[in-house]
Structure 1
Amino acid sequence: MKLLLSIVISILVASSAEEKLPLCSVCTCKFKENKFSAEVICNKDTSTIWTQNSTWINPSNNESYDYSSVSLLNQEIYVLNYTFLPSNLRYLSLANSNIRQIANSPFRNLQNMNTLILSYNELEILSPHTLKGLYMEERLMPLKSLKVLKLDHNKIHSLHMDIFEHTTDLEILDISYNPFKIIDKQTTLALSSLAMLKELYLGYTEINTLPDQLLHTPRYIEILDLSGNPLTAIPSTLGETHNLTTLYINDTGFMNMTKENGFPEIPSLKVLYMCNNRELQSIGKEALAGLSGLQELSICNNIKLTILDDFALAKINQHGGATWPMIKKLNLYNNKLAYLDSDLLSRWDMLTDIDLNGNPWTCECENQWFVDELAPLYLKINPEREPEFRCGAPVEMQGDLFVDLHARQYKMRCLDIYGARPETDAMLLVGVLLGVLIGLPVILFIIYAYQRQWLSLLWCDNSPASYSRRFYSSTARDEDL
């Protein structure tokens, strides 16, 4: 009964609030239980409504309406020259609204705004006054609450060096899918000014490296995304990070990752994604050796990757000894790997998650440890993925499950020194044997038939000489008498 009463009250409260909030008359609104604060989503052009002051300020008491979140999507704004009135608004999205230009400080009154989304627009240039806030003695006219800024999917080539001077507390910045091509000096200075930045998204910006010291000042960066860029070497500046824990380098230009073009020392890194690298063919010895703190490794959907070196993760010291990171999650899904050495990890028993599916694993003695050790571990950790952990070669074992081979205590054969596969030669050997058994009697019969002149009957020679030879024998020689 109490629950029903609570639901009825919530509906009545929401209905009452919806009637009072102007944006709710033309947009979709959601209300938290027993709250008048609204989350507004407008998916059509409502410029005649949201640009009216009466939409934000209640004329009866001159107080701002309680919108907690407003998403003005698919608008036809072009030039944003409207200055938002004071509000408790904490989230504002103007995504996909054809914004080409933004006037000075349109958001200055939104001092409680935590998140600003300007994604999927036509922005090319941002003035340093775009994000200007209100005057404060101790700070330079800040948007004091802004923590998240998304500028992805625009047409930005460079950032003004002072673009973030009013938003120095930014923690998340997304400038992915902009045609930067290079991170120039102005952009470097702008990014370096964000001392509190924790997440930086630079994916699909057409850059092939990062400038030196770019990541030295933002000492709190934890997540960095460099996916979709034509990288052929890991930027050395990554070694200057202090707290980087997660790195995305998916869909890059790598063909062969080696110790020379691989990772610098990044002991703080715990999670690495290297997926969808369409040209990546090999990951060599010590290519990942600098990642001593790595715990989660995803190398997946690299459709040409055939070589993952035994010591790709190992760091080899001058005395020949090696150390490995303690990997807990390993994802090698859907590559072209045929062999995997047990030395790739030092402690396979430490894994809490593993996915090796989608690879053409060769069932030969080099992978015997798959049957003896990895199959039971795989079944224990991820029994739901077990049906896909199977042999890809040779032909006669294609599709066999490793867990089934383990149950049978199967011992996989080894190739000889010439790489021959006797089992594939069986039909040929049988054919040769049958040829000998059948061909030898036939040849002997032909020789005997020739001697007995039976073969002459096969030719129809009707000449007089041939006719005479059928009735007369050759004249006996003197020595035969």
Structure 2
Amino acid sequence: MKTALILFLVTISLGLICGDDKKDNEVGENVICKKCNCDVKMKIIECSNKKLTKMFTVDEWAALNATKDDYEILKLDHNLLEDIDVPFPVLRFPLKVIDLRHNKIKKIISKVFYNLSSIEEVDLSFNLMTADNLRPDVFEGKYSPDEYEPLLTLKRLRLSYNLLTNLDSEIFEHTKHLQELSLANNPFQIIHTSVLSAFTDTPQLQMLDMSRMELSSLPLDTFHPLKALKVLNLDGNLFKTFPEALKLATNLRELSLNENPIGDLSAENSIPELAKLEKLNMTYMGSLKVIGKGGLSGLENLKEIRLSHNHHLSYIHPSAFTFPEKDNPEREQFPLVEKVFFEYNNLSSLDSHVLLWNNVKEIHLHDNPWLCDCDLQWFSDILMKTVKETTPHLIDHIKCAAPKKLVGLKLADLNTKHTELRCLDKFGANPELDSALLVALLIGVLLGMPLAYASIMIYRRGCGSRRGPADFSRAFYKRADMNDDIHI
């Protein structure tokens, strides 16, 4: 009896132990890492292109938490998600980046990121979000005595390639620590006052992408609240002149205006003064033909200029970049530019006074139709040395397009052979052919003089002339002498 009782108790105990093990296995089953690829070493949960239609459940997140593995990046891009209807739970690991690009997201529930105390970046690009369903409560965080339910750690928010035409005026009230914001490729067309109000809640914003938003103008106070703004992208919009609003972006370091229909620049149509700007991008601008005097003045701290792929740009004035000296306005100063990108334009010449070329450390001048005359001699002597040192792989692409005798020749070869470039005649003559012309002319003169003399002598002797009846009668007539007797 005692033996049977002992066996019964042992069986019960084993059953309980096995049951607990089974329960532990069910709780510990990592469904998320079965659906996705969890890279513990790289700290990434890779769920891209998994045809997901729903977010993970609370139980699935709990199972991932139980693994005690640390992850910082969650990639949910290129799936079929339409609604983010489950909030992210409290996670044991410090999730910092959530990538939701290339889905079909239209709606997001409130407080979806509420429990993520380490979140730094959220990417909602390439979705179907509109201003009506992107509400401020989406970004609500936990209570704080100093700020209104802030999402304290969120630094980067990407909303590009959606259907946004406006923003809620309070959209950033919970994200006042944002440093980077992308609104690119949304059909705004106009910056409404609600957007300006929204910007007042981003005092720490340093990078703003407003490219390809179909903008042709900006309100004058657009950048007034963005005192920390350093990088601004306005590529692919419809600006025909520099937006005057730029003058309030006083701390801007980098400005990009590529692919805008901005026309010829001059002192009257010049870039606003941006004393701290270091990098300016103006490429693929089909309407830009001339950069006149003062067109790019006021950029006294400029370090890098990209003026490339402007296929109609044929002239840059020697004073295009100069600005008056503060102590002596009558004197001109140059920005100390270090990188110059002038490739793929329509430049045939370049004045030696456009920039302080001795300060340039990298230069791109290839694929322009250079006119290799005496005005370009300094180019061959000075700039080609910089090209050889900084971009030797491009040196063979700097070629002469004129005059005819030098078409297709490389400036590097002319420089190596110490070829002196000749000045062209203002009427289109070719001075390089002058010596041959003079020799031919001299030979013609030397040969022509004997022939002319011989012709004159032959003419005087009457050789070769035709005689009429009158000529013969004069030949046989002899005038009577006055001493001869006259007989009647």
TM-score range, shorter-chain basis? Answer: 0.7 to 0.9
Equivalent positions of 1:3-402 (< 5 A) are: 21-32=30-41, 37-48=43-54, 50-58=55-63, 66-87=70-91, 88-125=94-131, 126-316=134-324, 320-346=330-356, 348-402=357-411
Residues 236-285 of structure 1, C-alpha deviations (whole Å, 9 max, x = no match): 22222232111111000112122222211111111111111122111111
Q: Which runs of 5+ in 2 are unaligned?
A: 1-27, 456-463, 477-488
Inter-partner Cα distance in structure 1 for 2:339 and 2:187: 34
How has the CA–CA distance of structure 1 residues 81 and 426 changed in structure 2, closer, same or farther, with 3 Å as cutoff? Answer: farther
Aligned to 1:234, the other structure's residue is in SS state coil
Inter-partner Cα distance in structure 1 for 2:38 and 2:268: 55
Number of equivalenced pairs: 426
- Report deviation, 1:76: 2.2
> Counterpart amino acid of 2:83?
V
CA contact (8 A) 1:288 1:312 kept: yes
Q: CA RMSD in A?
A: 3.3
Inter-partner Cα distance in structure 1 for 2:32 and 2:401: 59
Residues 165-201 of structure 1, C-alpha deviations (whole Å, 9 max, x = no match): 0001000000000011111111111123210001000
Structure of greater Rg = 2
Aligned to 1:153, the other structure's residue is in SS state coil
- Report deviation, 1:203: 0.4
Q: Which runs of 5+ in 1 are unaligned?
A: 1-18, 445-450, 453-474
TM-score (norm 2): 0.79
Aligned to 2:139, the other structure's residue is in SS state coil
TM-score (norm 1): 0.80
Aligned to 1:70, the other structure's residue is in SS state strand
Inter-partner Cα distance in structure 1 for 2:118 and 2:158: 17
- Report deviation, 1:431: 13
Inter-partner Cα distance in structure 2 for 1:52 and 1:85: 9
- Report deviation, 1:353: 0.8
CA contact (8 A) 1:95 1:117 kept: yes
Inter-partner Cα distance in structure 2 for 1:78 and 1:294: 45
CA contact (8 A) 2:32 2:56 kept: no
CA contact (8 A) 2:53 2:82 kept: no
> Counterpart amino acid of 2:80?
E
Fraction of identical pairs, as percent: 30
Inter-partner Cα distance in structure 2 for 1:60 and 1:381: 52
How has the CA–CA distance of structure 1 residues 391 and 417 changed in structure 2, closer, same or farther, with 3 Å as cutoff? Answer: closer
Inter-partner Cα distance in structure 2 for 1:285 and 1:329: 21
